[in-house]
Structure 1
């Protein structure tokens, strides 16, 4: 008879949200400008609007998380609210996020705070966003204001969420997102800007809040390729992941976010051709990026999984809850002994029984990783609420808690109770 899986004492059991996806009316952000543009630069299912009104309902939402049995809440502070215009800081916004952290602590919940989760103040994006040489200094100034108020309330700070996703989408066109640039030189500048901003933020946090752990939350894929696909895999992984590991050796922890596996297949005979193509910046710029631009222009919000015989989520992702094992083992090889927190893991599904299945399968491999001696200290489910999923709008449902789009009423799903029992008992039932 199989036995329950016991997790270490003081393991972090959490759920996550991001400000723009749940707060509502984030009107000074670059995403809001796109969402409300009468002639948008790319298709979007719907605007974020009032989202989940978490800006006003955070106390009840955090209380609900704690009541379920979770001990950790990862949320982001919104730069666009804190500094809506360059050099002008809103004291009420700063105090709001301090109050969120204090609400967590009042309920015995550990806050994990993310400083930047995809959105930027509109003024930053108009000024060139991550390619502007002043961006790292602006991010330092912003981080300083946040940490002067937040101090040591949150034991973990994620400076930047999924830099690989954000920069490849915004500067190479893998998906349509601000700032809608399609240029390798701009990508290189933006990636360097992200790493410099992260480094600046880390320095500020260590100065103002000694003992607080600092890291990035990385979107990592479980990559698989046949011989013909290896050059493309290596090119894509370097741009999407490895480029943003530049500072990780100096970080206190590494956030891992894995939702699926990606298969890169091509005829063996094309392997050398694609390798030569991708080694040439000129050919990549003239051939690969226009292809990505056409794909982005043709993109439509997710309408469900294709009928290809592969089990998929509402995002169209291959069903692969175990993929997080491969990504964590990879970063453990790259950064031996580095603390790992699974800062996101979850599934978009309309069938809540699928969510329990996904959670169970994912936690099974997490338990195996810990048993093999890897320093995984926490698991944070995405997400707490059914929220705004960027260009796909509100259709993909990731939440442990449903949100009525008209009344904002919260309804706890059975998966939330299952996961809460896991967190409360520190064990996954057999």
Structure 2
């Protein structure tokens, strides 16, 4: 595999998220839920990785890998911590971050909502409120007005189908669903509201309601972004496994695709790209999911480097628009697995591009070990480890492996691997 197997315009990046990296996102709905009793979250996010203060260091790490793109979220809860109260300091911060990306040769890929939203928004009906699309569009507009002229790609929502994917695969035990409902009921009581909701802890019985609400919000956000800058590529990112059928398993596979992915892939026909976030392959037999033999990742599924290419292929087939890999990685405490997995997955992706599937870029999840939502700091997906006391970032061997993949593809433009 050589660097000529992918176009010169290909984006090589890492993906990050504000709440998971920045720390002390205390005006957000997720922070409120982390401190609710009972809570589904293993531990509170607290200072996370101190990314709000250390953003320049983190951009330097990305640039040092030879990357040319950096995906991050603008935290709505920081920009509008109270309804109608806009923080100039927060907008200044994110503008400096965009400019810092450009100074380092990194295309800023901005996510407008990476699961989190302001606490006031969650307590006032969250995404299902009648005025939610307008409120979200206002946030997108103020961000675009400040630095939209310098953004490379815009992602409206991060994985609005995640809960459907988790529930379709029974990834969470029944007791977790019960605890989720109890947490949200307690949060509503504490907030003095009729209900409380957040984008990545949605009860099973509200899935259809939230899918419709997220769709309205995505469309409103897309319109707001395009009103400010019509040439900016806009899309939504979805969680998507590579669904594979053994003989007799086609009906089950197709039902899973229809229930979890197809709504958003059809919606993406009106967008400029579809964001694909892939972590695993699911194999369907005539009687249900089948677990092949092989080495497992931290999610308990078999490690399959070809899963990304398969997910990308299906996403493009249904949507008809180019694909941007907004997340891909592996949950594992064994970094040797990651160091082997990433180059192999990119090789399969390059083959898919050569076969004709339009792929705009690849953003690895994630730059460093961080707060992984309900799993806290136990899950490991980063190219760098983070000292939980000093917040020092230290490269893992997988960082060097990814840098080498990028170097081979980008040639002398690619920068240096970490030592």
Q: How high is the TM-score relative to the length of structure 2?
A: 0.85
Question: Is the CA contact (8 Å cut-off) linking 2:95 and 2:147 kept in structure 1?
Answer: yes
Q: Distance in 2 between matches of 1:112 and 1:382?
A: 13
- 1:190 is aligned to 2:174: no
The whole-number CA distance in structure 1 between the counterparts of 2:120 and 2:164 is 18
**Corresponding residue for 1:411?**
394
SS at match of 2:37: coil
Give the whole-Å Cα distance in 2 for the aligned partners of 1:229 and 1:74. 36
Decide which of 310, 318, 326 is 1:334's aligned counterpart: 318
Structure 2, unaligned runs of 5 or more: 181-196, 412-419
For residues 112 and 367 of structure 2, the distance between their equivalents in structure 1, rounded to whole angstroms, comes to 18
Paired residue for 2:366? 383
Between the aligned partners of 1:370 and 1:315, the Cα distance in structure 2 is: 28
Kindly indicate whether the alpha-carbon contact (under 8 Å) linking 2:306 and 2:345 is maintained by their aligned counterparts in 1. yes
* Match for residue 52 of structure 1 among 38, 49, 66: 49
Is 1:317 paired with 2:301? yes
Q: Matches of 2:3 and 2:218 in 1, distance apart?
A: 40
* TM superposition shift of 1:344: 0.8
**1:402 alignment partner in structure 2:** 385
- 2:199 is equivalent to residue 216 of structure 1: no
Partner secondary structure for residue 247 of structure 1: helix
Aligned counterparts of 1:396 and 1:97: Cα–Cα separation in 2: 27
| 1:262/1:91 CA distance change after superposition, 3 Å | same
Aligned-pair distance for 1:230?
A: 5.2
CA–CA distance in 1 between the matches of 2:269 and 2:230?
A: 18
**Cα pair distance change 1:10/1:420, threshold 3 Å:** same
Q: Distance in 1 between matches of 2:160 and 2:34?
A: 21
How many residue pairs match? The answer is 386
Counterpart CA distance in 1 for 2:204 and 2:293 is: 36
* TM-score, L = length of structure 1: 0.83
Is 1:171–1:187's contact at 8 Å kept on the other side of the alignment? no
Structure 1 residues 9 and 226: CA distance shift in structure 2, 3 A = closer
> Which residue pairs with 2:31 in the alignment?
32
Query: Which runs of no fewer than 5 residues in structure 1 stay unpaired?
Result: 272-306
Corresponding residue SS for 1:38? coil
Per-residue CA deviations over 1:177-221 (Å, capped at 9, x if unaligned) read 65455354x322211111111111111111112321100111111
How large is the Cα RMSD of the aligned pairs? 2.6
Distance of 2:24 and 2:137 partners within structure 1: 26
**1:243 offset after TM fit, Å?**
2.1
